[in-house]
Structure 1
Amino acid sequence: MKLTRLIAALVLAAGFAAGAQAQMELKFGHVGGPGSLFELSAQEFAKRANEKLKGKATVVVYGSSQLGGDKELLQKLKLGTVDFALPSTVMSSESDLFGVFEMPYLVKDRDHMKRIEKEVFWSKLAPAAEAKGLRILAVWENGYRHITNNKQPIKTPQDLQGIKLRVPEGKWRVKMFQTYGANPSPMKLSEVFVALQTGVMDGQENPFTQIFSSKFQEVQKYLSLTGHVYTPAYITTGKKRWEKLPADVRKVLEETAKETQAYVYETAARLDGELLDKMKAAGMQVNEADKDAFVKASKPVYDEFGKEVKGAKELIDRSLALAKK
């Protein structure tokens, strides 16, 4: 009788274990709203990965900061309570080397970004993230950033004097806009709409996809095409959590993350044109900016980054040299 019970218990336990493996949910948190590039990218990755995983695990996407803001998500990755996130600017708060992507007008286009990724990112930046307990699976995109505000068109850095500007949680973006004369304040993306609506902030800066999906066109009058920074985004997991996943699951997830990059870049390029037209149609006043004036005003930021962060000047010089290929 005891033997029968033992066998029954073992069978039941094996059944639970198999069920648990089949139903393993991998949580993917990000801050993008519905229709954002983050949401489209994460959902495409989940769809492709889930088809290949065939029930061994299921990637489930939680957008709109449901699982926390950028800094909270990074902490949850390290704790293993969230499996994937899509940080962008905030990575410079983990490792100052990521501030290279905060340098104004560093990345010329997506082909240039691909060369930086291949020749600089994986050898220099990915290991810096790993040292902080984070593993980056692939480089995706947040996009080219532009300024919106309710005061006036921004044509030169002088037009930013005194403007209260929301920026993401990364110190080099703060330093950049301080250099231009603005009054920048880091703030979670989920809090920005109300801050703009109530006048707590005069403006903000983001790629078109974040501006439009966050509905900032409803509470902002001016859109200035500064294109001041190109921000990559990184599909990231916690190192400890990653190492606990079965090897075959890890292989599928990493390969899928990398192959999804082509979809991300194609979608981002398409949205750049579509969303600008939509924001004009929504009544935003759009103006071109004097990029030469912004480039000239950016020199102190490059100088400070190069002096303050060990290895930064090498990253900048190598990245800029790759623009000429």
Structure 2
Amino acid sequence: MKMLKLAGALLVSASLTAPLAAKELKFGHVGAPGSLFAASAEHFAEVANAKLPDGWSVAVFGSSQLGKDKELLQKLKLGTVDFALPSSVMSSVAPEFGLFEMPYLVKDREHMKRIEAEIVWPQIAPAAEAQGYKVLALWENGFRNITNNVRPITTPADLDGVKLRTPNGEWRVKMFQSYGANPTPMAFSEVFVALQTGVIDGQENPLAQIASAKFQEVQTYLSMTGHVYTPAYVTVSANHFGKLPEAVQAALTEAARESQSFVYETAAQMDVDLLEQLKAGGMEVNEADKQAFIEASASIYAAFAEEVEGGQEMVDAAIALGAGS
């Protein structure tokens, strides 16, 4: 009997210390084929698969196949999905991510790199980890613009009464309410049908999301507001990722961070190419009065400073890092 107990104990001990068996790691995202998310995740998988030890691989599942953003975040914690690429929804995970909901905060990608180094890694990434998530790298969703079927949007007053889809995040809702719109949070995968059926009048997204989701087929006006720049976060479960072999963790982290240059270059080119594509597709494009939007945004900055601990300091630091951009 003692020998059986000893053998059982040894088996349990071995199972606790044995390295995880090699497997396919699932990367879920909400982007459609041809989107920046799709290009980014597929490039990462290619880089990661070249670095990973034998038997390990990354497989990408786009178009919300594995779930919408909030579902993907839940599945990370359950361990049924290994990577997700959330963007605006992260402000619902930790309030510090609301920094990137502040309108006209990020000037360009060089400015974003400085914010990443000075603010994201020291302050915002640890806030995600406190909630059970680990951010491996910063990629991009992009500069957001408004499409709708009511009128061209030149100033905030033009948004009066417009039913506008937003991501699930309190700051985007507050921002568009302050501009006079009627914001409606909705999962990205539901937006096309909602636009097509008139449930909503419009939405706001980077050009890469607008074009790949074919919103030009159900929207008349594209207004180049550039009101918010949204990073995308290569996100894993802190718990499950930490259980992977160290060589696997290192390969995945390196691949995620190395992919940022590809993401930024691809995003910049898409901004040029897709604008022409959307014009050719029949959308009426207009430039917005960005100064009018900036002046209308003071209340959002004030609310963020008041409601988020250290919010004013983060905003001040981010703005200061924009000098010279």
TM-score band, normalised by the shorter chain?
A: over 0.9
CA distance in 2, matches of 1:125, 1:59: 26
The aligned residue for residue 265 of structure 2 is 266
Quick one: which amino acid aligns to residue 286 of structure 1? V
**Which 5+ residue runs of structure 1 have no aligned equivalent?**
1-9, 11-16
Partner of 1:236: 235
Q: Distance in 2 between matches of 1:100 and 1:59?
A: 31
Deviation at 1:51?
1.2
- C-alpha separation in 1, matches of 2:156 and 2:185: 19
Query: Which residue is 2:43 aligned to?
Result: 44
- Cα distance in 1 for residues equivalent to 2:186 and 2:277: 26
Task: Look up the match of 1:5.
Answer: none
**1:204 aligned counterpart, secondary structure:** strand
Contact 1:86–1:235, Cα closer than 8 Å, also in 2: yes
2:32 alignment partner AA: G
Per the TM alignment, residue 54 of structure 1 is displaced from its structure 2 partner at its CA by: 4.4
Q: CA shift at 1:257, angstroms? A: 0.4
Quote the Cα distance in structure 1 between the aligned partners of 2:307 and 2:168: 19
Report matched runs for 1:17-166 at 5 Å. Answer: 21-22=21-22, 24-166=23-165
* Helix, strand or coil at the partner of 1:262: helix
Aligned residue pairs: how many? 309
AA of the residue aligned to 1:235: V
**Are 1:188 and 2:175 matched, yes or no?**
no
Work out whether residues 87 and 235 of structure 1, in 8 Å CA contact, stay in contact via their aligned partners in 2. yes
Deviation string, structure 1 residues 103-144 (Cα, Å, up to 9, x no partner): 000000000000000011100000000000000000000000
1:21: how far off? 3.0
Q: Which runs of 4+ in 1 moved over 6 A?
A: none
Q: Which one-letter code corresponds to 1:21 in the other structure?
A: A
Q: Which moved more, 1:77-86 or 1:281-290?
A: 77-86
Secondary structure of the 1:323 match is coil
Match of 2:202 in 1: 203
Task: Classify the secondary structure of the residue corresponding to 2:96.
Answer: helix
* 1:105 and 1:229 in contact (8 A); partners too: yes
Q: Deviations over 1:248-277 (max 9, x none)?
A: 000000011000000000000000000000
Tell me the amino acid that sits aligned with residue 94 of structure 1: V
Q: Quote the Cα distance in structure 2 between the aligned partners of 1:64 and 1:262.
A: 23
Contact 2:219 2:283 in 1 (8 A): yes
Work out the CA distance in 2 between the residues paired with 1:70 and 1:170.
11
Instruction: Give the match's secondary structure for 2:146.
Output: strand
TM-score, normalised by the number of residues in structure 2: 0.93
Does the CA-based 8 Å contact 1:56-1:249 persist in structure 2?
A: no
TM-score (norm 1): 0.93
Q: Distance in 2 between matches of 1:100 and 1:309?
A: 9
Q: Aligned letter for 1:261?
A: Q
Q: What letter corresponds to residue 309 of structure 1 in structure 2?
A: V
- Give the C-alpha shift of residue 56 in structure 1: 3.2
Shift of 1:52: 1.3
The residue number in structure 2 matching 1:301 is 300
User: 2:182 & 2:129 partners in 1: Cα distance?
Assistant: 33
Identity of aligned residues (%): 65
Between 1:24-33 and 1:51-60, the stretch displaced more is: 51-60
Partner amino acid, structure 1, of 2:21: Q
* Aligned residues of 2:53 and 2:247 also touching (Cα < 8 A): no
Aligned to 2:315: 316
Residues 53 and 248, structure 2, Cα contact 8 Å, conserved in 1: no
2:33 alignment partner, SS class: coil
